[in-house]
Chain A
Amino acid sequence: MTNSFVAMLQLFAATGEVTGRKKCQKIVHILQECGVDFGLDFKLALYGAYSSGLQSLMEDLVEEKYLNEEPDSCGGFPTSRFSPHRRLGKTLRALGEEAPPSWMPLAVSLNSKSPRELETTSTILFLRNSGVPEGDLEDQFRRLKPQLRDKYVAGLTLANELRHTAAA
């Protein structure tokens, strides 16, 4: 059984804390690009791949007390820190979904990266998935994300590594 709700509970059970909705958006998008089915649609928005469904799901998870939300900051800007509430673990147990999913190490590794790194990789994956040919990828990326130019090479390396992870 896979649905967005259970997959999100598993994600937070795996990662513990995640700082910022933007980071959460990028982690979920990258995981989904690697074949983990969160059942969410992503578009390319201001800060890269973005899912309205996920945005709304995050609000619901906080409202229904599966997640705690605390004010935090990232690069000097205000943001939120999310951590799993006790109810999250109880619900996963009640659903028989408490075993860590196979993608847990990848989720934990992605959570250790900065939002800008994740945005770069997530945008590259989005463009690839949209059918942008490899030869045009960098040019298209730089036109859409001039502010992330300096992150492109590292982002591409991670995207390529993930391609192998997904294939494996």
Chain B
Amino acid sequence: MSNKRSKVFRDAVHGLISIDKDRDLLLALIDTREFQRLRRVRQLGVSNLTYPNAEHTRFAHSLGVLHIAIRIMETLRRRHGENDSVKSWLDGKERLVKIAALLHDLGHGPFSHMMERAFDAGKEHEKRSKSMFTDPDSGIRKVLQDHSITESQILEARNLLDFHEIPFLHDIISSSLDADRMDYLLRDSHFTGVAYGNYDLEWILNSFCLGLDPSPALEGDRTRLRLCLDEKRGQFAAEQLIIARVHMTMQVYTHRTTRMWEAHLLLLFAEATRLAFSDELPPETPAYVSDYFKKKGAVSHEEFLKIDEPALLTCITIWSDSTGASERLRLLAAAFLERKRILRHIDLPGETRMNWRLTQIEERLESRGCEQRVSWLIDRYNFTPYEMPPPKLLTLDPGAYWDAVSENAIFLASGELDEKAFPIHRNSKLIKSLGIGKMPVSRLFYLPEIEESVKFSTQ
């Protein structure tokens, strides 16, 4: 008789995360340098300066995403496992979905999404994640090969982050109801202590089913099954999740203090980049960090693995003491470590990226010699709670309507595999009223020395 224990992780959000099936493969992936690095990248970047307990990492989040993806597939198997096609898709692809769920965040830079704003290369964390599936230097690739995952399966697992010919498999990884979003809302809510982010995960997991994509262009294509919620069970739980996302966005992700510290770090890193170009960073700065700034984040796989939060925080500590290189670097570094607020800000209420006034403010500041990313930056965040296409599109430009539905909708369905799903906004008055609303947040953060120029430019 075999007597093999499950591998179990204790998790603050999900209780126990148990890994049974594909255990050896998944544990080997978790043990790679690439995945272990995620222990040193916090999920919410500098949010801990606003919410003291927001110290949770991409490592724990990635395990949570794996856990939810497994549970979604269990529900689908329970509900539709007697259908030969669904059974064969799940049997054949389950392992690949797990791999994609576990590894989806590998490419995040230190301080997570903040780094996406520091360099162009930072924006491409998804590309970096994907490259780790295939990079010959990557430990991930080696583990996948060692566990008899074929080349085409490796590519298929990686492509699941972007697309799949069986859409519901991709929906589990990336959609308005994906395992990623379901985990990060609960996790961020738990660790920030902002209770608004909570929603009924168990009910949602219990309500999953499949339904045909409703787009007329796919009429008759029986493979186009989408991940849906049962129309009789799922609507209110989905509404609650969307509301949770609104509140977390307004209260946590765009919190003024957090965004101010992000702006602070962006100015600091811009100065470090300028100094790195002329080899003027303090000499105690490790070469791989200098290189990271000099190459604006576009470093090799090996170099990337060394770039984590401890590395950058160590440098910030070094810079805070360094008098030779740049007084701006020293000041910004010291203020960050001591959480001493330097930046001032102006809310630009109601401004959207559309309003050319923001662009005008930028141009006015520059015309007065105030360089962007040196003494100021405008932080633009455009949030839509649920991206419902404007109803007029249905008659005016139906192709565009169904494209938007296919990409952004949460689907409800009867669970009959030959019946069409429908977008939640067809039934939900709550979503209808929220759906087309936009919540832009724009703020100008600046150093006190340009106060006069800011006054002039924002008049």
A residues near B, CB below 8 A?
1, 3-6, 20-22, 25, 43-47, 50, 52-53, 55-57, 59-61, 64, 66, 69, 71, 77-80, 91, 94-96, 126, 130-133, 136, 140, 143-144, 147
Mark contacts of B128-142 with chain A using CB atoms, 8 A cut-off: 1 yes-contact digit, 0 otherwise.
001100100000000
Chain B residues with CB under 8 Å of A45's CB are 403, 406-407
Give the size of the chain B interface in residues (CB under 8 angstroms): 43
Contact in complex: B354, A60 (CB < 8 Å): yes
- A53–B404 Cα distance when bound, in Å, is 11
| Chain B binding surface SS class | helix
- A3–B360 Cα distance when bound, in Å, is 12
Chain A residues with CB under 8 Å of B218's CB are 46
Contact in complex: A20, B402 (CB < 8 Å): no
Contact in complex: B403, A44 (CB < 8 Å): no
Chain B residues with CB under 8 Å of A147's CB are 217
B397's partner among A60, A79, A132 (CB-CB below 8 A) is A79
Residue of B131, B152, B353, B382 with most partner-chain A CB within 10 A: B353
Chain B residues with CB under 8 Å of A69's CB are 396
Query: Smallest CB-CB separation from A9: which chain B residue?
Result: B356
Given contacts A56-B382, A56-B387, A56-B438, list 9 more A-B pairs with CB under 8 A.
A3-B353, A6-B359, A22-B399, A50-B403, A52-B384, A52-B408, A55-B389, A79-B396, A144-B163
Contact in complex: A132, B403 (CB < 8 Å): no
Q: Which of B42-50, B89-97, B154-162, B296-304 contacts A (4 or more CB under 8 A)?
A: B154-162
Contact in complex: B217, A136 (CB < 8 Å): no
Contact in complex: B162, A20 (CB < 8 Å): no
Contact in complex: B353, A95 (CB < 8 Å): no
Decide yes or no: A95 and B399 within 8 Å by CB, A60-B352, A133-B155 being known contacts.
no
Q: Is B55 an interface residue (CB 8 A)?
A: no
Contact in complex: A3, B359 (CB < 8 Å): yes
- A72–B66 Cα distance when bound, in Å, is 46
Chain A residues with CB under 8 Å of B217's CB are 46-47, 147
28 contacts between A and B (CB under 8 A): A22-B400, A43-B407, A45-B403, A45-B406, A46-B213, A46-B215, A46-B218, A46-B407, A50-B404, A52-B387, A52-B408, A53-B382, A55-B387, A56-B438, A64-B354, A77-B398, A77-B399, A78-B395, A78-B396, A78-B397, A79-B397, A79-B399, A95-B356, A95-B360, A131-B155, A131-B158, A132-B155, A136-B155
- A50–B396 Cα distance when bound, in Å, is 18
B367 to chain A, nearest CB (A): 10
Chain A residues with CB under 8 Å of B131's CB are 131
Q: Is B363 an interface residue (CB 8 A)?
A: yes
B314 to chain A, nearest CB (A): 32
B89 to chain A, nearest CB (A): 14
Chain B residues with CB under 8 Å of A57's CB are 353-354
B371 to chain A, nearest CB (A): 12
- A143–B159 Cα distance when bound, in Å, is 13
A75 to chain B, nearest CB (A): 10
- A22–B215 Cα distance when bound, in Å, is 15
- A59–B159 Cα distance when bound, in Å, is 31
Contact in complex: A130, B162 (CB < 8 Å): yes
Q: Is B448 an interface residue (CB 8 A)?
A: no
B residues near A, CB below 8 A?
130-131, 134, 152, 155, 158-159, 162-163, 165, 174, 213, 215, 217-218, 352-356, 359-360, 362-363, 382, 384, 387, 389-390, 393, 395-400, 402-404, 406-408, 438
Contact in complex: B438, A44 (CB < 8 Å): no
Chain A residues with CB under 8 Å of B402's CB are 46
Contact in complex: B407, A61 (CB < 8 Å): no
Total CB contacts across the A-B interface at under 8 A: 114
Chain B residues with CB under 8 Å of A136's CB are 152, 155
Chain A residues with CB under 8 Å of B359's CB are 1, 3, 5-6, 95
- A45–B401 Cα distance when bound, in Å, is 12
Decide yes or no: A144 and B403 within 8 Å by CB, A78-B396, A95-B356, A133-B155 being known contacts.
no
Chain A residues with CB under 8 Å of B404's CB are 50, 52, 55
- A40–B287 Cα distance when bound, in Å, is 33
- A59–B387 Cα distance when bound, in Å, is 12
Query: Smallest CB-CB separation from A90: which chain B residue?
Result: B356
Decide yes or no: A132 and B354 within 8 Å by CB, A52-B387, A55-B400, A95-B363 being known contacts.
no
B363 to chain A, nearest CB (A): 7
Residue of B130, B163, B382 with most partner-chain A CB within 10 A: B163
- A52–B215 Cα distance when bound, in Å, is 17
Contact in complex: A143, B165 (CB < 8 Å): yes
Query: Smallest CB-CB separation from B359: which chain A residue?
Result: A95
B250 to chain A, nearest CB (A): 18
Contact in complex: B165, A144 (CB < 8 Å): yes
Decide yes or no: A46 and B403 within 8 Å by CB, A5-B354, A95-B356 being known contacts.
yes
Chain A residues with CB under 8 Å of B134's CB are 131
Decide yes or no: A20 and B399 within 8 Å by CB, A59-B390, A131-B131 being known contacts.
yes
A50's partner among B165, B356, B407 (CB-CB below 8 A) is B407
Chain A residues with CB under 8 Å of B407's CB are 43, 45-46, 50, 52
Contact in complex: B356, A5 (CB < 8 Å): yes
B406's partner among A22, A46, A130 (CB-CB below 8 A) is A46
- A98–B438 Cα distance when bound, in Å, is 29
Query: Smallest CB-CB separation from A143: which chain B residue?
Result: B165
- A145–B165 Cα distance when bound, in Å, is 9
Chain B residues with CB under 8 Å of A56's CB are 382, 384, 387, 438
Contact in complex: A44, B397 (CB < 8 Å): no
Decide yes or no: A4 and B353 within 8 Å by CB, A46-B218, A130-B130 being known contacts.
yes
Contact in complex: A44, B163 (CB < 8 Å): yes
A3 to chain B, nearest CB (A): 7
Query: Smallest CB-CB separation from B131: which chain A residue?
Result: A131
